[in-house]
Amino acid sequence: MRVLFCILSLFAALNLLGKEINVTYPNCPFNLQLVVMKHKGLLEKEFAKDGIKIKFHDITNGVKQVKAAATGKVDICGSLNTTSIIVAAGQNIKLNIIRAVCNSTDTLALMTTNPNIKSVKDLKGKTIACVSKHNSHQLLLLALAKNNMTIKDVNYIPMSNAETYKAMLAGKVDVGILAATEVVNAKKRGARILTTAKGLMRTKLVVAVNESFAKKHPDWIKRYIKVQDEAMEFIKNHKREALEIAAKDLGISYKDAEWLYNNTKFINTLNRDDIKSLRKDIDFLYQQKLIPRKVNILSKGAGIEIAFKNFVKDQISLCAVSYN
């Protein structure tokens, strides 16, 4: 029996040797829990006892995060907008939402430096840039629709967040859809907000994993969730230190970090209003032909549901992608 125990222990040790969890680390929008998790080494501390290493990847773009998760380059998308998850579902890419991050509705905005543009109504024929198949793309479509326009009424150019920021300030595009730190920095350089997402859409950032990772490593996911909860608790009890860490990480002032904190609603679960807005998002993206059919990203059934003991009716910690 002792020999068998030694063999099993050796097998377990060899099996864990070289194990690594790859996590995306987007620097936009204001992902405070993730910033704290990385810079306080919370994930490393949690998994060190099992010899499991944590590797962060600086991938901000939602589509690129989805692709990285789908191909196995990353295991966990540390903060991903739900628009990109819906679009991925339309392309038969299944992602499981394991935790929520924030509602960043007040820090996602259409901005301009063009003095002739006073409101969204003035956008007809103008050049507009933002990330494609992303919540910024959805915001643009919604803002246009509210003013009786479509994407055909403007010159839309898909660009990354960084490219959009630079192009707008250089006058190469009339309007850019920016988020969080970009909004703060653009305002300092003379850009104006035409509209935020408030009243148009409810932006939702979540933690997501591909389906195979969810089924293969339910315990790792449970522990990731535990660490994110620890980060939230740290922010609650040590707000100033958390914001100082974020300010340094993002290259902004403490005052700007505090503004982003006050205008970002940090959450761990999606509530009833979030769920309702997801359904509206799916309907709208289908109408806009960004997805080929209506998908459902709220079906239960992933293999990690057992991890959640605090599941209540009007809040969810887990959504598995499925199709109607």
Residue 74 confidence (pLDDT) above 90: yes
Is 232 a domain residue? Answer: yes
**pLDDT tens-digit series, residues 110-128:** 999 999 999 999 999 999 9
227/85 same-domain check: yes
Last residue of a domain, one of 179, 196, 213: 196
What CATH number does the domain containing 213 carry?
3.40.190.10
Residue 300 pLDDT class (50, 70, 90 cuts) = low
Which range, 5-9, 236-240, 267-271, has the best average confidence (pLDDT)? 236-240
136/178 same-domain check: yes
Average pLDDT over residues 226-255: 97
Q: How many domains does the chain have?
A: 2
Question: How long is the chain?
Answer: 324
208/230 same-domain check: yes
Q: Which amino acid is at 297?
A: I
* Cα-based distances in Å from 118 to 115, 126, 191, 249: 7, 12, 12, 34
Is 66 a domain residue? Answer: yes
237/191 same-domain check: no
110/166 same-domain check: yes
Task: Report the distance separating Cα 1 and Cα 117, nearest Å.
Answer: 79
pLDDT at 270: 86
40/189 same-domain check: no
Lowest model confidence (mean pLDDT) among 146-155, 158-167, 235-244, 264-273: 264-273
Last residue of a domain, one of 196, 227, 245: 196
- The verdict on whether omega for the bond into residue 292 sits within 30 degrees of 0, i.e. cis, is no
Residue 303 confidence (pLDDT) above 50: no
Q: What is the pTM of this model?
A: 0.87
Structure tokens at 145: 């629709």
pLDDT at 299: 52
Q: Which amino acid is at 162?
A: A
**pLDDT tens-digit series, residues 29-38:** 899 999 999 9
260/245 same-domain check: yes
254/140 same-domain check: no
Is 5 a domain residue? Answer: no
Is 81 a domain residue? Answer: yes
pLDDT at 155: 98
Last residue of a domain, one of 171, 196, 221: 196
Residue 238 confidence (pLDDT) above 50: yes
Element (DSSP H or E) covering residue 116: none
240/318 same-domain check: yes
Q: How far from the centroid of its chain's Cα atoms is residue 4's Cα?
A: 46
> Which of the pair, 3 or 47, is modelled with greater confidence?
47
Is 92 a domain residue? Answer: yes
121/141 same-domain check: yes
Asked if residues 194 and 168 have their Cβ atoms less than 8 Å apart, the reply is no
pLDDT at 296: 81
Residue 7 pLDDT class (50, 70, 90 cuts) = very low
93/221 same-domain check: yes
* Cα-based distances in Å from 30 to 66, 123, 180: 19, 28, 6
Phi, psi of 136 (to 5 degrees): -70, -35
Average pLDDT over residues 278-284: 94
Is 74 a domain residue? Answer: yes
Q: Assign 168 to helix, strand or coil.
A: helix
In 3D space, the residue among 177, 185, 164, 155 whose CA is nearest the CA of residue 257 turns out to be: 185
* Cα-based distances in Å from 261 to 31, 53, 195: 10, 30, 19
Residue 264 confidence (pLDDT) above 90: yes
Expressed as residue numbers, the domain containing 146 is 106-196
96/114 same-domain check: no
pLDDT at 5: 42
Average pLDDT over residues 92-108: 92
Average pLDDT over residues 62-66: 94
pLDDT at 167: 97
Asked if residues 307 and 225 have their Cβ atoms less than 8 Å apart, the reply is yes
Is 1 a domain residue? Answer: no
- 115: burial class by Cβ within 10 Å (0-12, 13-18, 19+)? exposed
Residue 298 pLDDT class (50, 70, 90 cuts) = low
Residue 313 confidence (pLDDT) above 50: no
Is 222 a domain residue? Answer: yes
Average pLDDT over residues 62-76: 95
Mean pLDDT for all residues in the chain: 88
pLDDT at 311: 42
pLDDT at 141: 98
Residue 257 confidence (pLDDT) above 90: yes
